[in-house]
Structure 1
């Protein structure tokens, strides 16, 4: 392994499974390479991508967020969010996505990891290490029976919402400029979801929660607070980004923030445009480390779910980021923390307290 592909990166978020479950790519494409999307196993090896959180995400079934990416190229925007997704509709999609992840595992190129030891062993092997993550809890019923079933299937990380509302809480809209103080917090069912995840040692992700929901979760959880793919609001004042107050709460919990590569959440002007210097990503990293510490920052690319900087483009472009980090002055010990050690630390603490 050369310096371009080392240290290996463990990534906090991708939306690859939706493309696979929808048939946009096939398992064969994933193994042998495809020009579609931003991830396949060949490009992952070229980029030094060792694994990450593979999201189970449910597209909306009602109108809303039409032309969202186009709207987010404007100087100001407030993209309408779609309404609730039913449990029945969500479960169908999530089951299909889990089946897609299992199909990847059967190729021998990937392994679904459910313990910290298994995660680290797999990550340093020839296989891609995958953590099953539920982005938005629409597939969880109010009695939490499906939470138990999904846990048995390998679920080890969960975000109560993806921006649109659920029975558990409210997310932030795609709004710029804006704070995350955009509505009510967790419902009573949402508060119970936090308790149930704490009981099962499922990691809780605050990335899409609004400010009141973040506060509610922070007051209840007995685990580290983690934002798998979020950035610094002081640099890019987007509703999706974290304020310094929120970062202080994450630091106090000994949690974690994964830098989101989505350009709308990186750029100071909030535009979803790939034309931006990597230096802006380094500004976010510097600020995040200043506020939460160098042991609590990593990456959460949002590959296959976002427009990323043109200089990176897809998972094969990760060496560009490593080179820029070295040029910026990050030494090898810090690179290793940011690339994967910090994720392993927080997952070990969450899963094995």
Structure 2
């Protein structure tokens, strides 16, 4: 439950903790200004994903280092912080719990109110802050989530989503199949390899109304990749190129359909996959054809970070919300449309 309070601070400073997946970030926001936003990433060897328990251990080792860095970059002391926000979910259970415990501890030690933030809402509010988008159709694409969203009547409504795995998960798992490095991220390395690809390999294209499916594409490309690479029918670059072109075309299609439904003339891409310049290019072509505007950010704010949690926390705090200590749990399945958006008309 969220309690309602009145906020009278002239300038409000919010500290945000993010740790829902393999990145641990701490950000500080003061009235729309990002004062600091350091993060560290848990990177595994090529061919391996990151497990919840190992990721949580990484977060426990590094979270206080990142917190100290954030405070020093911002030039602030604990007394300067007005509220502590943390990612409540969705995400991986063990990493979420680790960060929630740290946020609760800091809030109690420093005597500050606490706020549990929806991870997706954090991405959206940071995107709106950085780009200046007013009321966009949002494409939220990351390792764990794929949704097309539009705001209406105190909710971020989900128009379409993946019915199985997220687009980022699809890319990451293919990277493991062909042993692409996880440094700095498998998706980034696929993007660079795709730029060298020239031969398009036809893959399943699965759009079901407003929803998409990526598991069949992944199974198909996993199977054909071994045969085609072994017989030199195509290169790994060609497969990366083909996979990107196919899944991004699906995302552009459902985003355009959501725009038509909602009458929107803006698109905002958020989430880690939103850094991909080819996705931005394809979406930009669609927007130009519709006379719409595309908004996107770079890796500082697309990739999971603490400032996005701080910014969403700032909005929530100013609308009168706090999370009571006994209600400061986490939930791995925290849907975007469960949140009452009290800070927008």
TM-score between both structures, scaled by the size of structure 1: 0.33
TM-score between both structures, scaled by the size of structure 2: 0.33
Judging by fraction of residues, say which structure has more helix: 2
- Higher relative CO (CA 8 A, sep ≥ 6), structure 1 or 2? 2
Structure with max Cα Rg: 2
